[in-house]
Structures are given as structure tokens and as C-alpha cells.
Amino acid sequence: MLIKTLLNTLLMAAVAIAIPGVINRLRARMAGRKGAPFFQHLRDARLLAAKGSVYSDTTTLLFRVAPAVYLGAAAVALLFIPVADLEPLISFEGDIICFAYTLALARAALVLAAMDTGSSFEGMGASREALYGALVEPALMIGFATLAMFCGYTSFAEIFAVKQSFDLHLTLVMLLAAYLFLRITFVEAGRMPVEDPRTHLELTMIHEVMCLDYSGIDMLMIRLGGWLKTAAFAMIAADAAATVTCFRWWFATPLAILLTGVSVAVVESTQARNKLSRNTTFMVTLSALAALIFFIGYLLQLDINI
């Protein structure tokens, strides 16, 4: 039991570390480059850890605490997520709500820290992040509600542990839910087509532009927090897919890494970033998609022959 929980947490950390590596390698290969080593992002992290920091005179204590809140909240959110049949550290009735709001805390910390610098660019990023956060929240909650409706539970561990003999309806809904969560991962991780993390123009940034004034350890914390957040969403998507295929940890872990890693890399290599004004449409579409999946789930549960 304890070992399972420990393994769960370690695997989540592994997923968090592996996903950026997979994305970077694959993207480089698809562009025909040799690419940086798989663990380049960890070396960058070590570099950041060794650096000093520059703080703007405008900022207050809030600016210095915010990275810790961001990383702390992302880390706690990660502890809710089971890796297939393993047990997460924290699990109780309604933990899906706790998960969503802990991540909202992380977002609020960064948004306020960005406002703290008094920079027009960072204000812009904060404004966008707050708006996109507000728009993606319904999609996330309806997604969770779909799972809760179909499985009859309100905690991740119990939802994903629901496994009858092969059930076409459950398979369908779970796969649709996995797709939805994957799309949400794109938004929450600040990836294409919502945002291009490689952009060099501040005016077009969202997430990155909020952190312009961070350096050294603060920047490292924000990076780490971002990885953990991505890993949490990737694992939810993978769990949903694994429930109806092979519900074992040794299957779900690589699935989470590959599903997110490959899809992000492919999308980023083949698509252009949305025009910013199109982003809101993208998010609203996401909520509409979630509502549609919920409705499909509802109809399937009513057992109408379609």
C-alpha cells in the first residue's frame, strides 16, 4: 500500500520530467534537426538553480512568494492523480474539485505576481491567462462531471478504478474524455495551438510573458510547476484511456508520456499558433466539446439504442 503510493508519486515525477524531453526530441527530429539531448531541460534547470536573481524595485513580497505557491500548488495537485492501478497519496470523495481549485490557486499566484511588476507586457499576459483560465474551467469541470456521472464516484482513484467486463459505452465515453483532457492539457501547459512557447515576441506570449521578471531559482520553480501541471493533466488523459484498455501502471505511465509528448510535438511541428483573438473561440469550443461528451455520456447511460 505504502509502496504503491510511493511508486505512484515517483512515476508522476518521472512523467513530469520525461514529457518535455520527448517533446523536444521529437520536435527536433520532425524538423530534421539532431536536437538537444533528452535531459537537456534538466541541465537547464540546474543552470537556473545556480544563478542569482534580479528583482524589480516595483515588486512586493508577493512577487517572491508567488513561485513557491505556484510550485507548491502544482505539486499538491499532482498528489491527487493515480497512475492507473496504483494509489495516489491523497484521495477522498470530491478530490476532483480540490484538484481544479488547487491549480486555480497556482494560476492566481502567477497572475498577481505578473501584475506586481507593473509591466505592461506582464499585465497583458496576466489578463490573457486569467481569461483563458476562466474559459477552460467549465470544460474541465464538465469533463470531470462526465466521469463522475458514468462511474458514479467523485474521486480520481475510484473513477478510474471502475472496470467492468468490456463495456462499449464506457470505452466510448472514456476515450472521448481522454481526448478532451488531452486538449485541455494543451491549454494548461501553454502549448500550441493556444500558445507558442518558442515565440520571441512578447506581444504574442501568454504564459511566458507573465514570467519575464523572474530569474534564477524563481524561474526554476515556475518551470518545474509547469512540468508538474502538464504531467497531472497528461496522466488524467492517460488514465481515462487506460481504464478501457489495460489498467496497469506499467501501461499508463508510458501512455501518459507518449500521448502528450507525441501529440504536442506533432501539433507544434505541423500547425501554426492561433491568432490571439481565435484563442477564445478555441476555448469555448473546448467547453462545447465537453458539453457534447457529457451529453453523449448521458444518452449512453440512459441506454437508448443508437
Partner 1 sequence: MYLNLLLAFALLTALLFAVPVRWKAPITAVVTAILSVVAAVPAVKALASGTTTEITRMQGPVFGEESIAVDPLSGLFLIIIAVTSVAAVLYSCGYMKHYYGKKPPVQFSLHYTAFAALVASMMMVVTSSGGFSFLFGWEMMTIASFLLILFDAQRPEVLRAALTYLIMMHVGFVFLVAGFAGIDAVCGSAGFDCLPRCYASRHTLSLFVIFLIGFGMKAGIFPMHVWLPEAHPAAPSHVSALMSGVMIKTGVYGVIRVAGAITEVGQLHTGGIILLAAGIVTGLWGAVQAAAQNDAKRLLAYSSMENVGIIFIALGVAALGAGADDPVVASIALCGALLHTFNHSLFKSLLYFGTGNLYSQMHTTLLDRFGGTAKRMPVTAALFLLATAAICALPPLNGFAGEFLIYLGLLDSVSNGVNVLYAAGGITALALIGGIVLLAFAKLFGVVFLGTPRHRSVHSVTEVDGLRLASMAIPAAGIVLAGLLPQYAVRMVSAAAAEFSPAAVYLVEANVAPTLTRVSLTAFLLIIAVALLYTVKVRAQRRRTLSHGPTWGCGFTAPDTRMQYTGESFAEGLESLASTFNSDIVEGRVVDKGEIFPPAVRNYNVRHKDRVGRLFSAWWIEMLRLINQRIMRLRTGKINNYIFFALMFLVLIFVLSLFNII
**Smaller CB distance to partner 1: residue 95 or 195?**
95
Q: Pick the closer one to partner 1 by CB: 36 or 124.
A: 124
Query: How long is the chain?
Result: 306
Contact 244, 171 (CB under 8 A): yes
H-type alpha helices, 192-248 = 207-210, 216-243
Residues 103-162 touching partner 1, rule: CB under 8 A, are: 104-105, 107-108, 111-112, 115-124, 126-128, 130-131, 133-138, 140-142, 144-145, 148-149, 151-154
- Least distance to partner 1, CB of residue 26, Å: 31
Minimum distance, C-beta of residue 132 to partner 1, in the bound complex (Å): 9
List the one residue out of 51, 190, 58, 189 whose CA is nearest residue 113: 58
Dihedral (CA of 300, 158, 263, 218) sign: positive
What single DSSP character describes residue 220? Answer: H
- Amino acid letter for position 179: Y
Site string for partner 1, 13-52 (x = CB under 8 A): ------------------------------------xxxx
Q: Which three cell numbers stand for residue 153?
A: 464516484
Please give the single-letter amino acid code of residue 12.
M
- The distance of closest approach from Cβ of residue 285 to partner 1 in the complex, given in angstroms and rounded to an integer, is 13
Instruction: Estimate to the nearest angstrom the gap between the alpha carbon of 133 and the chain centroid.
Output: 12
Task: Output the smallest distance, CB 117 to partner 1, in A.
Answer: 5
Span 224-253, contacts to partner 1 by CB under 8 A: none
Comparison of 121 and 251: residue with beta carbon closer to partner 1 = 121
Q: Single out the residue of 13, 291, 296, 300 in contact with partner 1 (rule: CB under 8 A).
A: 291
Chain centre to alpha carbon of residue 276: 20
Q: Is 96 among the residues that bind partner 1 (CB under 8 A)?
A: yes
| Position among 73, 84, 236, 293 found at the interface with partner 1 (CB under 8 A) | 73
Q: How far is the CB of 277 from partner 1 (least distance, A)?
A: 8
Cβ–Cβ under 8 Å, residues 82 and 239: yes
